[in-house]
Structure 1
Amino acid sequence: MDAEARVATMLGNPKRAIIAMAIPIILSLLVAEVNMLADRAWCSGLGVEALASIAVVRPIYNVYSGLGAGLGVGAAAVISRYIGAERPSDASSGAIQAIILAVIFGIILTPIMFLLQPGLIELIGSEDIQDSTVAYLTNFTVCLVLIMVNGTIGGILNGQGAANLSTAMMMVLAVSNIILDPIFIYILDFGLVGASAATMVATSLSMLVGIGYIMSRRTYLRFDRSVLRFESEQMRVITKAGFPQMLEYLVVFGMDAILNMIIISCAGSEGLTIFSTPDALVALMIVPAMAIGSALVTVASDAYGQRDLERMRKAYLFAVELTLTISITLLVIVELIPGVFMSPFTYSDEMAELKPQIIDTMRIIAIYAPLFSMNPVCSGLLQAMKHPERSVIMAIIRNLIMIGLYMFGAAYSLTAICWALDIGHVIGAAMSLIVAFVTYRAVSRTWDSITSQTV
């Protein structure tokens, strides 16, 4: 499919557009999650402490990735609005400014996070894994610019309907990482540090592929000298669109770090391994929801740019229906055969002893996947309607409630924490659906009022 055809699909039937865009994004996100699972699978041979270190670092790495992905979502929303309004030059300029912003943010944050990471790990980790955890995290921190630029480029490609190209980027990352992991971890004998080093080498390759796509003629946007300059107004627009999403990712993944602290205080490093291993699989289960939410941002933003409220409504309702269908189906499968999914992470003697507890935990926490799936879809609609701040506020409120529930559960057992997680997501799903509905009604009434005054 050429660039013009991709944009035509993006601007056409909302159901077809969401499916067409969501499929490559799903593949892209699946590849990213499989990437993390590969680290876990290879490192499970290093023992419980190595997996606990990965679990502690995972939310911090997700925050790093979320900053780039959030900026990418903001860029995608702005680019797709410009395309919908038939302003391709502004869309091209916006893409360049987004990359510049990613570099600036990365350069500023790298030394800050490098200095803060020992104290941060001491706060959220356990003493027996502190040194290995800091060593594993350092490669990600030093390469923060690469992580942010890579995520932003993916958003730029998605914003012009070229989600298949962003998927190709992620395929390069995942395949490279899966190949490099055993080489760095075992052959070169770098151990746990080798896992993060392999990931960053693979990220660099992915970024180079993405830059090649953007500068080629395979995408809708064109980049000549007129757009290759610093534009403060464009940066302001992209930051306004992307910052709330970046903040939401920070809140969501920061919550994971707090949950790790609570689990360690309740059940130690072993408890964190028991929880985090099945939770990594749940992350795979919510990938379709994340992809559909990302696709909805682009499709609904186009409809917003064209002032086609009915098309935006149809896109949202279809996204909700599709997300629930997929996530509930996955939940049923996991509940029926959890042991099959946990086998790749429990092959060592040390991990095999924990397998029954890991399976029991899997059965409980898998329940939250369909509930959580409402958050990215509703967030996508709010982003398209230029109200991303409401999504951030919801995320903050939802996570404050969940912290209270986690602490209550920690007074009893790890199992109680798992059930608290499910209860918290019931509340979160209800909040997301209500706020999305109320916001849509308000926007609809505003547009109806403007239309009647014009007539």
Structure 2
Amino acid sequence: MAKKKSENIEMITGDPKKAIVKLALPMMLSMLLIMLYNIADSIWVAGLGADALAAIGFITPLFMVLVGLGNGIGAGANSLIARYIGANNYKQANNAALHGILLSVIVSVIFTVLIEAFMVPILQFMGAGKTIQYALDYSYIIFGFLFIFVYSGVASAIFRSEGDMKRATIAIAVTAILNIILDPVFIYILNFGISGAAWATVISATMSCVVMSYWIWGKKDLYLDLSFKNFDYQSYIMLDTLQVAIPSTLENIVFSALAIIINSMLVMADGTTAVAVYTASMRIVQLSMIPLIGIGTAVLTVTGVAYGAHNYKNLQTAHSYSIKLGFIVSIALGIVIYIFSPQIAAMFAYTSASSTLAPQIAHAISVLTLFVLAIPHGIMSSMMFQGVGKGVYSLLITLLRSLILESVFAYILGFIFGWGVVGIYVGIILGCFVGGTVGYIWAKLFIRRFKAISIKKYTPQKED
């Protein structure tokens, strides 16, 4: 039996433009908070010296895999729940959410054991070198509490799937604000060093999980009802969720693999200091990508609902509008970051151990800011494919854009053309644009086919 639709449900099934804006704005705030606490980690760790900051750079790709596990399962659950909501199947929407939570438990246990067991050889392979002890001190703690991060990603996706961005944002805000407060306490006041940054992150994420769990099972005022009596194990729900979850998680692994490759190139070009500079500058440049991530997350929900309802017009509008909006906002933010790059870089030079990094970071930011202009059409196309349950398509776009084209162009310009570190930066930007363009064309072709099928199968035929 279907439940009476809430205001959030009416929103995500209505005008896709309004839905994208209303969903994206809270998500942008969420991502801003996440980015700020990531930058806070870098800024506070930078005070320990370049080796400690470089260690964070080596761990970041692995941490992306960790976060990707939760976000991947969350994306799969979000897509499936949204499609069931679009099809007015309330019972299966509840069941899909519960299957997502079960997956978070299973995956967490498996990957915690694997990552903890092989941490040392992984870091050695990545070329951590003299920074390896810093990296181990940070990573053993972070990866030891994998379930916290995976469950957090899934729970947040459940709120997003029914258009409840307010509470999804509040949960992330709890994590971000608490982490920013705890970082200096654990790193310097309690003198835990780089381990303190890891403990601050774990404790902050745990509090977010507690808050979301209370809303789900304590307050019980969601549109969805996640009482365990509503759980009915169905293998095809697991498979459908995994069709998006696995490719989405693999995308994060692709990003991690790319980061490892880029870090290796930077070490070859200019040593571990280049990794520290790239780590700091990309944390800043990613600030201007927050709107894209927010809009893309909204696109996943809106296109999932449209696909489930066989509404090709909403699907087409959501894809086109999100790209236009993404370009406008990211250009504006990119300009601001470019102009203030020297002042931003100075944040990383507050101790004698890190003072020499500021000019290099400012230069890196001025080049890498162009990255945000190369990505909107590609990322929106990938998120559209995830929304309609075609996770493999999204993965293929990411493989082409990131792992293949970005790394190939970076190597060609950095070493074959002899442009060094700057060539690596430019190669990343060029590869991203070319790969994103291929994804955009593919998405347009998919929407055209979906429109033809929808008109043929679901448009009422007039009687003679």
**One fold, TM greater than 0.5?**
yes
- Superposed counterparts of 1:273-422, under 5 Å: 273-398=276-401, 399-411=403-415, 412=418, 413-422=420-429
Matched, 1:220 2:223: yes
Instruction: Determine helix, strand or coil for the equivalent of 2:354.
Output: helix
Instruction: Return the alpha-carbon distance in structure 2 between the equivalents of residues 320 and 450 of structure 1.
Output: 29
Instruction: Return the alpha-carbon distance in structure 2 between the equivalents of residues 153 and 168 of structure 1.
Output: 13
Instruction: Return the alpha-carbon distance in structure 2 between the equivalents of residues 257 and 426 of structure 1.
Output: 20
**Aligned-pair CA distance for 1:148:** 0.6
Matched, 1:191 2:193: yes
**Structure 2 CA distance for partners of 1:355 and 1:3, relative to 1, 3 Å:** farther
**Structure 2 CA distance for partners of 1:199 and 1:359, relative to 1, 3 Å:** same
1:63 corresponding residue in structure 2:
65
| 1:31 corresponds to which of 30, 33, 43 | 33
**Aligned-pair CA distance for 1:446:** 2.6
Instruction: Return the alpha-carbon distance in structure 1 between the equivalents of residues 182 and 37 of structure 2.
Output: 11
Instruction: Determine helix, strand or coil for the equivalent of 1:86.
Output: coil
In the alignment, structure 1 segments of 5+ residues that lack a partner are: none
Instruction: Determine helix, strand or coil for the equivalent of 2:47.
Output: helix
Q: Runs of 4+ in structure 1 displaced over 6 angstroms?
A: 452-455
1:149 corresponding residue in structure 2:
151
Amino acid at match of 2:406: M
Instruction: Return the alpha-carbon distance in structure 1 between the equivalents of residues 75 and 390 of structure 2.
Output: 14
Instruction: Return the alpha-carbon distance in structure 2 between the equivalents of residues 192 and 403 of structure 1.
Output: 30
2:85 corresponding residue in structure 1:
83
Instruction: Return the alpha-carbon distance in structure 2 between the equivalents of residues 125 and 254 of structure 1.
Output: 13
Amino acid at match of 2:404: L
- Across the aligned residues of Structure 1 and Structure 2, the Cα RMSD in angstroms comes to 1.7
**Aligned-pair CA distance for 1:453:** 10
**Aligned-pair CA distance for 1:358:** 1.4
**Aligned-pair CA distance for 1:19:** 0.7
1:121 corresponding residue in structure 2:
123
| 2:259 corresponds to which of 252, 256, 259 | 256
Instruction: Determine helix, strand or coil for the equivalent of 1:350.
Output: coil
1:427 corresponding residue in structure 2:
434
**Aligned-pair CA distance for 1:373:** 2.6
**Aligned-pair CA distance for 1:40:** 0.9
Using structure 2 for the length normalisation, give the TM-score. Answer: 0.94
Deviates more, 1:260-269 or 1:295-304: 260-269
Does structure 2 conserve the Cα–Cα contact (< 8 Å) formed by 1:394 and 1:432? Answer: yes
Does structure 2 conserve the Cα–Cα contact (< 8 Å) formed by 1:63 and 1:254? Answer: no
| 2:178 corresponds to which of 162, 168, 176 | 176
1:14 corresponding residue in structure 2:
16
Does structure 2 conserve the Cα–Cα contact (< 8 Å) formed by 1:3 and 1:218? Answer: no
Instruction: Determine helix, strand or coil for the equivalent of 2:337.
Output: helix
Deviates more, 1:270-279 or 1:410-419: 410-419
Does structure 2 conserve the Cα–Cα contact (< 8 Å) formed by 1:173 and 1:202? Answer: yes
Instruction: Return the alpha-carbon distance in structure 2 between the equivalents of residues 182 and 109 of structure 1.
Output: 30
How big is each residue's C-alpha offset from its partner over 1:250-277, in whole Å with a ceiling of 9 and x where there is no partner? 2123211221122112211111112211
Deviates more, 1:391-400 or 1:228-237: 228-237
**Aligned-pair CA distance for 1:364:** 0.5
Deviates more, 1:50-59 or 1:429-438: 429-438
**Aligned-pair CA distance for 1:217:** 3.0
How big is each residue's C-alpha offset from its partner over 1:362-420, in whole Å with a ceiling of 9 and x where there is no partner? 11111011212333211121123332211111211222122222222442311111111
Instruction: Return the alpha-carbon distance in structure 2 between the equivalents of residues 452 and 7 of structure 1.
Output: 24
Instruction: Determine helix, strand or coil for the equivalent of 2:310.
Output: coil
Instruction: Determine helix, strand or coil for the equivalent of 2:229.
Output: coil
Instruction: Return the alpha-carbon distance in structure 2 between the equivalents of residues 367 and 218 of structure 1.
Output: 43
Does structure 2 conserve the Cα–Cα contact (< 8 Å) formed by 1:143 and 1:200? Answer: yes
Instruction: Return the alpha-carbon distance in structure 1 between the equivalents of residues 237 and 265 of structure 2.
Output: 42
Does structure 1 conserve the Cα–Cα contact (< 8 Å) formed by 2:243 and 2:392? Answer: no
Does structure 2 conserve the Cα–Cα contact (< 8 Å) formed by 1:75 and 1:95? Answer: yes
**Aligned-pair CA distance for 1:3:** 7.7
Instruction: Return the alpha-carbon distance in structure 2 between the equivalents of residues 225 and 434 of structure 1.
Output: 43
In the alignment, structure 2 segments of 5+ residues that lack a partner are: none
Does structure 2 conserve the Cα–Cα contact (< 8 Å) formed by 1:290 and 1:373? Answer: no
Using structure 1 for the length normalisation, give the TM-score. Answer: 0.96
Instruction: Determine helix, strand or coil for the equivalent of 2:191.
Output: coil
Amino acid at match of 2:443: A
Amino acid at match of 2:422: T
**Aligned-pair CA distance for 1:238:** 1.3
**Aligned-pair CA distance for 1:360:** 1.1
Instruction: Determine helix, strand or coil for the equivalent of 2:222.
Output: coil
**Aligned-pair CA distance for 1:188:** 1.4
Amino acid at match of 1:396: L
Matched, 1:203 2:205: yes
**Structure 2 CA distance for partners of 1:225 and 1:139, relative to 1, 3 Å:** closer
Does structure 1 conserve the Cα–Cα contact (< 8 Å) formed by 2:20 and 2:298? Answer: yes
Matched, 1:160 2:162: yes
Does structure 2 conserve the Cα–Cα contact (< 8 Å) formed by 1:32 and 1:174? Answer: yes
**Aligned-pair CA distance for 1:28:** 1.2
Instruction: Determine helix, strand or coil for the equivalent of 1:161.
Output: coil
Does structure 1 conserve the Cα–Cα contact (< 8 Å) formed by 2:406 and 2:429? Answer: no
Q: Between Structure 1 and Structure 2, how many residues are aligned?
A: 454
Instruction: Determine helix, strand or coil for the equivalent of 1:46.
Output: coil
How big is each residue's C-alpha offset from its partner over 1:199-226, in whole Å with a ceiling of 9 and x where there is no partner? 0111111111111122223311113343
**Aligned-pair CA distance for 1:445:** 2.3
**Structure 2 CA distance for partners of 1:390 and 1:228, relative to 1, 3 Å:** closer
Does structure 1 conserve the Cα–Cα contact (< 8 Å) formed by 2:345 and 2:359? Answer: no
Instruction: Determine helix, strand or coil for the equivalent of 1:348.
Output: coil
Amino acid at match of 2:405: I
